[in-house]
Structure 1
Amino acid sequence: MKFVADVHLHSHYSRATSKNLNLEHLTTWAQIKGVEVVGTGDIAHPGWLQEMKEKLEPAEEGLFRLKEEFLQSVQEEVPKACHGRVRFMLAGEISNIYKKNNKVRKIHNVCFAPSFEALEKLQTELEKIGNIRSDGRPILGLPSRDLLELILEVDPECHLIPAHIWTPWFALFGSKSGYDSIEECFEDLTPHIFALETGLSSDPPMNWRLSALDNYTLVSNSDAHSPQKLAREANLFDTELSYPAFFDALKTGDPESFLGTIEFFPEEGKYHYDGHRKCEISWEPKTTKEHGGVCPVCGKQVTVGVLHRVDLLADREEGVRPENAQSFTSLIPLPEILAQVYGVGVNSKRVQKSFEGLLAALGPELSILQEIPPEEIEQVGGPLLAEGIRRMRSGQITIEGGYDGEYGTIKLFEKSERDSLSGQSTLFALELEKGSTKETQEDEGESIPAGHPPERVRVDIAISPLNEEEREADRLDTNTTSMEDSVQRQSNQDSPPQGLNSQQQEAVSCTDRSVVIVAGPGTGKTRTLTHRIAHVVKKEDVAPENILAITFTNKGAEEMQRRLETLLKTEVAAGVTIKTFHSFGAMVLRAEADRAMLDNNFAVCSESDRRLLFKMVNPDVPEKEVDGHLDHISWAKNHLLTTDSPGLVNVYRNEFIEIYKQYEKGLRERGILDFDDLIVRTVDLLERHSEIRVKYQDRFRWISVDEYQDVNMGQYRLLKVLVGSKTNLCAIGDPDQAIYGFRGANREYFLRFRGDFPDAFMLHLHQNYRSTQPILEASSQVIAEGKGPKGEELCSEIVGKAKLQMYRASTYKAEAEYVVHTVERMVGGTSYFSLDSGRVTTEEEKDSRPFSDFAILYRLGALSKPLEEAFERSGIPYQTVGGKALREYKEIQQILTYLRLIHDVDSRFHQEVLEASDMGRSASPGDIERFLHELREKAGIDRVSSLTEHVSRFINPEDTGDGAGKRTERVERLLRKANGYENRLGEFLEAMALQKEGDEYDPRADRVTLMTLHASKGLEFPVVFIVGCEEKLVPYQKGEEEPDIEEERRLMYVGMTRAQERLILTHADKRFLYGRTMQNSPSRFLNNIEDALKELEKAEPTKKQTVNEPSPQLELF
């Protein structure tokens, strides 16, 4: 059977779409248009899925129809001449924005699912990747190839069709952010692509110019943002009505099954040709090339159109038709033809009335435009309308193509022609006037067979004037936007040299004695350390086993290991011990467990475990005092003050000492250590047992320490005891970046390095390879105002003219919105709304960036909430780092507790935790024990990720409550971490216990990063925002305590020097934080920056918007 299908459109859950995009209105307008198969749109949105499940029921295989209780009221509103069958296919668009091959890619893809079951699975997988709830067309930082892989893994009957492939933005071949070939985009999965959507901006002949597209079926869909726009482009089939038959026709391209497409005239698109609207210059690609792309009026580059992009990729001349080319028909919407017939606007009352009458008399719009003979149309609509449709069918039209944002126009009649013919259409005009009489209104609802002239018929179908929202959506429907000019943006980011600069080379080759290196931000600390290690292995014949490198974070250790593997053979690099201070302590304590009086299977408790244990052993301590006591215990341990230390009484009162003793007793009885014990117990072990100390001094003759300015007393003592008479020590750091005083760190240890190691040589690294000179100057001005010794002044050869942006917001919410809108602009727009609404200009889009280029930094984790809410609303993908660690979330704690009991059957503490919690509450104690026993049998054999998945399903087999998506995403993150440990469960558990705030950052995630200033240490981003630059926040003042201004200044310096190209500092006049409203003045640190480096930006006053009152037109419902 023959039918028309339009399967790419949207629902009311998508941004900038009509609120009428629901299943009822779609069913109505599908019949009015003559479409039988309609895509549901927005299949990634959970809310839309629920609505579909409520209102749709299965029809033919893989298709759905509106349930009878909803259909009945719909049919009452549709002219009987238009009544027809409507089926829905589960289909919707996903926006993929990511970086690949050093270019930002923005690709829209239409995905299809054969069933609600498959769709539910698909949504579960998509929600693990990004936010699918804030926009019907979600933005995912996922390559198109990986999206295709994901949907095929969900169900092999799922399919993907690249959308509107020529649109400059958001398209497979888009000049702004697309590819030059399908294979470059989809790689090994290219064979699973069988159809391409040409979009409103191109028609089949334009696509025929590329022989690479010959084996693909070219499809067309409306991409409708309002129901009235349905079927402005569509597809013609002659198959059985089913999902499999539909896709079989597309896969084979059989002309007997897939009959071709209904097209929009691409010249109507507002960026079809090249040109300059302001200069009234409109060119074809050939003319643009002749002029070198330069406008002769203003001398600037012209805006290049879609036709030009096709011309660039084409390997055929115009007019060549491939053997397997499908047929197509180009149409003009009936209301637009009526507007030309009358010489009035398309939304005028006269056009609307005529449209109603034609539908009632002749049937669906597509039938009128394509099939009904002109003489029948003339009987109802008069000779001018019949002539207009005849000319459209024969291609007798005049087109002025769109360019540089100016829509193209199509003319069917010259004014003189319309005037000469209009006298013949008096009968039609009179018939329409009769339609408004009382007699006609009484005859409302009477059925008139198609093909007969209406006799006093009036139908309640109107093209109602669009409200503001719908008018914007209508404006955005055209899938064409500006192309980039011929000037290619060049990065101002100079990479560090392939080799080493003279200062770095000196540090690497200085191996005859210990060395301390003062290295400011971006000077290549890790690079220098890594090259030095490789140098001593290659040139000094040092065995890798004799080298110890200590990093500040686990992420830093991983990075150093990766770099070392590029300089040495993998197996040689693996011999070097690279640890944090705490992981090194854990390694020693496990190896020497007997002498340390520990079980070699001891567990390291997490922060939440510490808290739980503290409350177990100190039940009388008020809840509000627990965290304070734990902080003091940590401070004491960092200063090596144990409960047996004589000096403890000089610092703390007896009440606290007793609490401290109970806490330590609780740890000992349960055979567990806390994080700080890994240093305390290791120092104690090495200092008390000389033979063990000498053993490790002999083993590690070469020690390198990164971020030495942030060591505390315990770490300092550990290093001192490790350094023997034959040890070569290399310490590197920057006293201007010492930011962990609140944890007991003291930069004095760095400053007195040469006093501790008199033979040490001091070197300085001055050359910055990260930031532009203006950023370095501004950050240097902030740190220069501080007291005490300073690091070395840095220089940068990276050219950058951009000043620091300073933004003052009225409120913290306005500040968050500013950040989101600025990211959106710098990304070059995340949707057509960004571009067409003016939020993003063409100039801004030229330098579009990936989401991973952006970091939003703040002093306190509490400042992240309004930012997270703003990013959620925008749909822009983001990750939050430096707040709550993954292991501290309840669902992750539960999984880790089970895994610990699998690994260590005798863990008393974790058994207590299990019994005191609701983990697996639905299971009996016997069931839990049997489950644990079963997995213990598999431990050491099965992969850690497999065990983790088993535990997750056992604890919470069906998580469908509030926040299920976030919980699922966190469990997925845990599984990804577990993947790297194969069957080494113990190592995985220890790694999770030793995580630090910065370890949560995933540089591979194509997302905006939200993180604390502390967590940003050691990282870099092209664009950095520091929000909340206000007194009492930066510098931070806790209650009435005096802030540590110098450390806060260094923290600000660290944040500023994370920026490579752009630095934006914001503050708000009013902020709600910790339950109260604050009105803080701008941070004093902002005043340290000279005005010449600042670019002040103020919030624009909100414009009052006038909402037009709806005209008294007839509504559809």
Structure 2
Amino acid sequence: MHPKGVSMNTALYLNEPLYLPELDRGKWHTFYRLSKKGLLHCIHCGAPLSMSFSIHQKPSFIHPPSGDNRCREQVEAFEQARQAESQTAATTAHGFRLPQRRAVLNTTPAWKAPLVLSNVAPFTVPASAKQMAMEGYREQLTKAGLTLDDAQWKAVKHIDGPLLLLAGAGCGKTRVLTARAAYMISEANIHPNKMALVTFTAKAAQEMRERMTEYPGIEPTFAQSLLIRTFHSLFYTMLVHADPNKWHGSKLIKSGQELLKTQGRALGLDESEFPYDQAATQISWWKNHMIAPKHVETTDTFEEKAALLYEHYEKALRETGRFDFDDMQLGCLYVLQENNRLLQRYQERFAYLLIDEFQDINPVQFEIVKLLAMPQRNICVVGDDDQSIYRFRGSDPRFIRSFTAHYPEAKTIHLVENYRSSHPIIASANRVIAENRTRLEKTLVAQHTSDQLPYLFFPYNEEEEATMIVEEIKRLIGKGICPSEIAVLYRTSTSARALVDRLVDTTLPFSLEQGFACFYERPFVRRALSFLRIGRNEESPYVMAELLKALFIKQEHLDQLLHIQKTERCSLLEAIPFLTELPAFQAKKLKTLPADCRRMQKMNPSEALAFAEARLGLNETIKKQGQEGNKFEKGSDDFNQLKVAATQFETVESFLIHIDHVIAKQQECQTFQTRHPKSIQLLTIHRSKGLEFSHVFIVGAVEGSLPHDYALDAWREGDDGPLQEERRLMYVAMTRAKKELAISVPVHYRGKRAHPTRFVRSLMNRSQN
């Protein structure tokens, strides 16, 4: 029995019986969507059937509760007969039993139960639970509700000389850093003006300021005089004191993208085709590695264009006397290197440096920190090389790994007692990260355990993955779980497409990370969809503009089309064959384009996209424009996702209506989420860093997604650095979970058979043995 009714494998669709075990496995989700529309019925009484698609129960059709058992009896008789018929009709070929009625055997497993990661070492009561009697300032902290374990207390009491705190996920590093500052002020009598706490984000800095007021012995005036800044804020303050005119705030470009676009237009880089946001990230990386434009070495077409843009961007900055955030760091380094008097002033001012998230430091920041820490060398750094995941921004974990080489007298303290996650989650995460070749050895120790074990589940593809997760979220919320305690994490934002598609059709509140662009409004997706849209809306200049981009026809021809539309009294689509001054091969292809676009309206969307790819030039668009983007987000990946989405619809019209609905609902959601803080969180793994949730779902745990194709390509070429960072991403994702961790391993991904990520294979093997 199913909690919502009677479970069965048979349904009626368009007066034809459906027997679930005989249906193409890839079509199961299509019938789920049909059931949502009320199009599936009981073969006996005609009652509408729903379809169950959850993580923990085998999919089935659900008959609403009824006191009449005849439906159940009739269906059971039908299914027994069908099963017997299949067995007698089977024949043996090459050692396999093949049903004769089916031409091709569906080799995909019908459904696979979740794999619970049960091979976990027994939980033992951690040593921190047996602490010795406390006294002095530690006792005061405890009475104030600020309990520290023994390792944390050792870190707090350390005052002079370099200190490396290796703080694992959920091990209370922020508390230790602020408690250490409080101890230095109240117990060691160090004036707060001699100290600086430095972190990476304004949010983290504000959290530290708020925490400082909680400590015993810290007067409000002391807390206010303590310098707690981000790197950029600290460096900018130093620059303004050095040269207030050159570094005046009016000359700061807060977002360099507008200047980049201005320079890019002069270089012929079309904003609709060239990813300026990714170019800005790449240029920032070069700057943070102190690589001038003339010294850039490129590896692909995107980097070649970005390097040229970098050169012109820097020239424009020099000519206008302006600077960006990265220039503040470089400028600070150069000022300190060239002005010894100023350097000595700040070395005396910052006699004690406390630096958070040290694994995220970049080469420029590291050089500045080394200068400031001399000659006292009273520098305390906190970080975890296992959580270094911002390589694309310039972060480099080798600085935390080599800290003791730069400071041989440094003391190292390991903070490994995890207060966030249950023992089964921590044990699984430890196994995953332990396989990284280059890391500082550490093993987290959970402080509590749970009967809820992490598990893997195996949807057929991204569509099933999204449905299963949404159904499980509904179940959790039905049990009283707050939506904001639930997070879905993914490697790239493209992987959220199916989840957003599913969530907009529910009443569940959900939040997307800031700046999240709707999948269907991505530049390459808009171009691909223009082949489908123009036949439905032949008069749309907006759609036609996208189609011209896809066909490599210059945008000035749109004006010509609008003129032809008026003079010939035809639609924009019908005007296309009349375009002049085009190469012969283009002109020939355009002659049949109106008829072809109308013909596609009669196809299902999968057929229409395949037709546009093979016959209308979309394949050339994919080859030439599909590789645009950075190494992680390419148009070709978006197109593969679009093809997966298309499989769920019978007509082009229904597919486009769904897309427009998703676009509108996502816009509503992004407006609504500012008013609804208690929402399900949809985040990239990068954006989830530093956060925690009771229930975490990790999607797309397959080769090519996590780890990303880019990392696999680099690994094949002999560079395993990116692959090690991908493993760190998996580790970070796993350690966001407090109570429940579910990892999705789809059988198909981007329309192709997928393989489980290497990051969970050892977990799978241990649990299956």
Shorter-chain TM-score bucket reads 0.5 to 0.7
**Secondary structure of the corresponding residue to residue 1014 of structure 1:** helix
2:426 equivalent to 1:776? yes
Partner Cα separation in structure 1 for residue 511 and residue 307 of structure 2: 40
The partner residue of 2:741 within 1057, 1063, 1076 is: 1063
Partner Cα separation in structure 2 for residue 734 and residue 1018 of structure 1: 12
Contact 2:704 2:712 in 1 (8 A): no
**Secondary structure of the corresponding residue to residue 353 of structure 2:** strand
**How much does 1:852 deviate?**
1.4
The partner residue of 1:605 within 251, 254, 271 is: 254
Q: Residue 879 of structure 1 aligns to which amino acid in structure 2?
A: S
Other-structure match for 2:447: 797
Other-structure match for 2:692: 1020
**Secondary structure of the corresponding residue to residue 1088 of structure 1:** helix
Other-structure match for 2:155: 507
**Secondary structure of the corresponding residue to residue 1041 of structure 1:** helix
Larger radius of gyration: 1
**How much does 1:1040 deviate?**
8.0
Q: Residue 606 of structure 1 aligns to which amino acid in structure 2?
A: S
Q: Where do 1:613-692 residues align within 5 Å?
A: 613-616=262-265, 618-619=267-268, 624=273, 627=276, 629-643=279-293, 659-692=309-342
Could you list the per-position Cα deviations for residues 200-243 of structure 1 after superposition, in whole angstroms to 9, with x for gaps in the alignment?
xxxxxxxxxxxxxxxxxxxxxxxxxxxxxxxxxxxxxxxxxxxx
Contact 1:859 1:1034 in 2 (8 A): yes
The partner residue of 2:498 within 866, 876, 895 is: 866
**How much does 1:750 deviate?**
0.7
The partner residue of 2:758 within 1084, 1100, 1105 is: 1084
Could you list the per-position Cα deviations for residues 63-98 of structure 1 after superposition, in whole angstroms to 9, with x for gaps in the alignment?
xxxxxxxxxxxxxxxxxxxxxxxxxxxxxxxxxxxx
2:707 equivalent to 1:1035? yes
Other-structure match for 2:629: none
Partner Cα separation in structure 2 for residue 962 and residue 864 of structure 1: 13
**Secondary structure of the corresponding residue to residue 1042 of structure 1:** helix
Q: Where do 1:477-876 residues align within 5 Å?
A: 498-567=146-215, 568-594=218-244, 597-606=246-255, 608-609=257-258, 611-616=260-265, 618-619=267-268, 624=273, 627=276, 629-643=279-293, 659-827=309-477, 829=478, 845=479, 848-876=480-508
**Secondary structure of the corresponding residue to residue 873 of structure 1:** coil
Contact 1:735 1:791 in 2 (8 A): no
Partner Cα separation in structure 1 for residue 754 and residue 318 of structure 2: 47
Q: Residue 186 of structure 2 aligns to which amino acid in structure 1?
A: K
Structure (1/2) with the larger helix percentage: 2
**Secondary structure of the corresponding residue to residue 414 of structure 2:** strand
Contact 1:611 1:626 in 2 (8 A): no
Contact 2:165 2:381 in 1 (8 A): yes
Other-structure match for 2:600: none
**How much does 1:1091 deviate?**
5.2
**How much does 1:972 deviate?**
8.8
Could you list the per-position Cα deviations for residues 692-744 of structure 1 after superposition, in whole angstroms to 9, with x for gaps in the alignment?
22222222212111111121211211211222212521101112112122222
**How much does 1:1064 deviate?**
0.4
**How much does 1:614 deviate?**
3.7
**How much does 1:546 deviate?**
2.5
**How much does 1:759 deviate?**
2.4
Contact 2:261 2:271 in 1 (8 A): no
Could you list the per-position Cα deviations for residues 6-32 of structure 1 after superposition, in whole angstroms to 9, with x for gaps in the alignment?
xxxxxxxxxxxxxxxxxxxxxxxxxxx
Contact 2:703 2:757 in 1 (8 A): yes
Q: 1:1094 to 1:773 in 2, by over 3 A?
A: farther
Partner Cα separation in structure 1 for residue 688 and residue 441 of structure 2: 20
Could you list the per-position Cα deviations for residues 301-354 of structure 1 after superposition, in whole angstroms to 9, with x for gaps in the alignment?
xxxxxxxxxxxxxxxxxxxxxxxxxxxxxxxxxxxxxxxxxxx99xxxxxxxxx
Q: Where do 1:289-328 residues align within 5 Å?
A: none
Report the count of equivalent residues.
483
Q: 1:692 to 1:969 in 2, by over 3 A?
A: farther
Q: 1:771 to 1:723 in 2, by over 3 A?
A: same
Partner Cα separation in structure 1 for residue 766 and residue 443 of structure 2: 19
**Secondary structure of the corresponding residue to residue 574 of structure 1:** helix
Contact 1:771 1:796 in 2 (8 A): yes
Q: Where do 1:881-1030 residues align within 5 Å?
A: 881=513, 884=516, 1005-1030=677-702
**How much does 1:638 deviate?**
1.1
**Secondary structure of the corresponding residue to residue 336 of structure 2:** helix
Contact 1:804 1:1094 in 2 (8 A): no
**Secondary structure of the corresponding residue to residue 1038 of structure 1:** helix
Contact 2:283 2:306 in 1 (8 A): no
Contact 2:504 2:666 in 1 (8 A): no
**How much does 1:791 deviate?**
3.1
Contact 2:490 2:683 in 1 (8 A): yes
Gaps of 5+ in 1: 1-343, 346-491, 830-844, 891-960, 977-1003, 1096-1117
The partner residue of 2:512 within 860, 880, 895 is: 880
Partner Cα separation in structure 2 for residue 654 and residue 1031 of structure 1: 28
Partner Cα separation in structure 2 for residue 618 and residue 650 of structure 1: 18
**How much does 1:809 deviate?**
0.7
Q: Residue 192 of structure 2 aligns to which amino acid in structure 1?
A: P
Contact 1:784 1:790 in 2 (8 A): no
Q: Residue 525 of structure 1 aligns to which amino acid in structure 2?
A: K
Q: 1:968 to 1:1084 in 2, by over 3 A?
A: closer
Contact 2:162 2:409 in 1 (8 A): yes
Q: 1:526 to 1:671 in 2, by over 3 A?
A: same
Gaps of 5+ in 2: 1-66, 69-124, 130-141, 523-660, 716-721
Partner Cα separation in structure 2 for residue 857 and residue 805 of structure 1: 15
Q: 1:615 to 1:1011 in 2, by over 3 A?
A: same
Partner Cα separation in structure 2 for residue 733 and residue 684 of structure 1: 26
Q: 1:885 to 1:505 in 2, by over 3 A?
A: farther
**How much does 1:806 deviate?**
1.1
Partner Cα separation in structure 1 for residue 700 and residue 515 of structure 2: 16
**How much does 1:619 deviate?**
3.9
Partner Cα separation in structure 1 for residue 463 and residue 269 of structure 2: 41
Contact 2:702 2:755 in 1 (8 A): yes
Q: 1:1045 to 1:570 in 2, by over 3 A?
A: same
Could you list the per-position Cα deviations for residues 100-151 of structure 1 after superposition, in whole angstroms to 9, with x for gaps in the alignment?
xxxxxxxxxxxxxxxxxxxxxxxxxxxxxxxxxxxxxxxxxxxxxxxxxxxx
**How much does 1:1039 deviate?**
9.4
Partner Cα separation in structure 1 for residue 753 and residue 730 of structure 2: 21
**How much does 1:1094 deviate?**
8.0
Q: Where do 1:380-391 residues align within 5 Å?
A: none
Q: Percent identity?
A: 29
Contact 1:547 1:700 in 2 (8 A): yes
**How much does 1:774 deviate?**
0.8
**Secondary structure of the corresponding residue to residue 717 of structure 1:** helix
Contact 1:857 1:1011 in 2 (8 A): yes
- TM-score (normalised: structure 1): 0.40
Contact 2:260 2:309 in 1 (8 A): no
Structure number with the bigger relative contact order (C-alpha 8 A, sep ≥ 6) is 2
Q: Residue 238 of structure 2 aligns to which amino acid in structure 1?
A: V
